[in-house]
Amino acid sequence: MDPDYLPFHPNPSKPTFTPPAGAVDAHCHVFGPAIEFPYAPERKYTPCDAPKAKLFELRDYLGFERNVIVQASCHGRNNDALVDALNAAGELARGIAVVGPDVTDDELKTMDEAGVRGVRFNFVKRLVDATPKDVFLGIAERIKKLNWHVIVYFEAPDLEELIPFLKQLPVTVVVDHMGRPDVTKGVDHPDFQRFLNLLAENDNFWSKVSCPERLTADGPPYDDVVPYARTIVDQFPDRVLWGTDWPHPNMKSHVPDEGHLVDVIPKIATDAAKQKALLVDNPMRLYWS
């Protein structure tokens, strides 16, 4: 593990908010264990091991019923740890893979049968090396046949340049972590308004209202992030997802307490109908229908 990388919380608190029945943690990861699922040689960081059993234990402890497990960059394009976790979880999990243009149809079929329902395109320069956009478009055309979707991860300053490419994607597009806005600028700043306009103008675009622990400038309880997430939930209640981001890869500022993260939910989804859409209806429609 990188010496400045923080491990996940060893004893998270019990949240005061009780998720509705059938709730989905729609953004989490499994790492290793490295002895069984080695990390990619080209990785930009080395995490602590965070195996599937720990994830499922946390799911139950927090009051969730299902997971969407997202392939993280430290495992590169080797999705073995992801597929192993999906096979162990059965109908209680779905997955998002990372693939290259050389992925075979048989490999895609195997992942589909395990529960993979999309691929992730990462544009965060400190995490991955650049990939030509034509490569991503080719992958998107192939996964369209499987009725998969695309997850995109980028930071707010890069959105303007990415918009023409994003609009070319022929599938549903889910943006990780609200496009990582700078929460010190305010919700009226052109950067965040650009993101809201993208969602308003393209009804195939969704947003995860997750990762306040990454976006905050003030730290827990993350109240500086709440107005951003609440704005998105209020404007696009049927196109939002939420997740813990466990085990919080590459965190260096503080160790997030997952119980506290769950307690942010009623601040951003302010009534029972919005909470059910965010945690149950939307992820079930996208991943299990």
User: Within a 10 A sphere around the Cβ of 230, how many other Cβ atoms?
Assistant: 18
Per-residue pLDDT of the chain (289 residues; tens, 9 = 90+): 676 777 899 999 999 999 999 999 999 999 999 999 999 999 988 999 999 999 999 999 999 999 999 998 899 999 999 999 999 999 999 999 999 999 999 999 999 999 999 999 999 876 667 788 999 999 999 999 999 999 999 999 999 999 999 999 999 999 999 999 999 999 999 999 999 999 999 999 999 999 999 999 999 999 999 999 999 999 999 999 999 999 998 888 899 999 999 999 999 999 999 999 999 999 999 999 9
pTM for this prediction: 0.96
- Give me the numbers of helices (H) and strands (E) for the chain, helices first please: 12, 8
Q: How far is CA 37 from CA 78, 83, 85, 94, 121, in A?
A: 9, 11, 11, 19, 21
- Contact of 50 with 30, CB cutoff 8 Å: yes
The domain made up of 24-287 has a fold known as TIM Barrel (3.20.20)
Torsion, Cα 70 178 274 57, to 10 degrees, reads 30
Q: Token pair of 141, please?
A: 């055309």
- Contact of 176 with 153, CB cutoff 8 Å: yes
Biggest alpha carbon–alpha carbon distance for the chain = 47
What pLDDT is recorded for position 124?
84
Reduce the DSSP state of residue 139 to 3 states and report it: helix
Q: Token pair of 78, please?
A: 């080797």
| Residue ranges of domains in the chain | 24-287
- Contact of 119 with 148, CB cutoff 8 Å: yes
Q: How far is CA 50 from CA 12, 47, 155, 261, in A?
A: 15, 8, 25, 18
The catalytically annotated residue of 245, 257, 263, 281 is 245
What is the distance in angstroms between the CA of the first residue and the CA of the last residue of the chain?
Answer: 38
Q: Which backbone phi and psi does 33 adopt, to 5 degrees?
A: -65, 145
Query: Is-catalytic flag, 245?
Result: yes
* Count of CA atoms in the C-beta half-sphere (13 A) of 14: 4
Listed residue (7, 60, 12, 55) closest to 258, CA to CA? 12
What pLDDT is recorded for position 128?
67
Question: Is the N-terminal amide bond of 266 cis, ω within 30° of 0?
Answer: no
* CA 11 to chain CA centroid, nearest Å: 23
Sequence-distant (≥ 6) Cβ neighbours of residue 135 within 8 angstroms: 100, 101
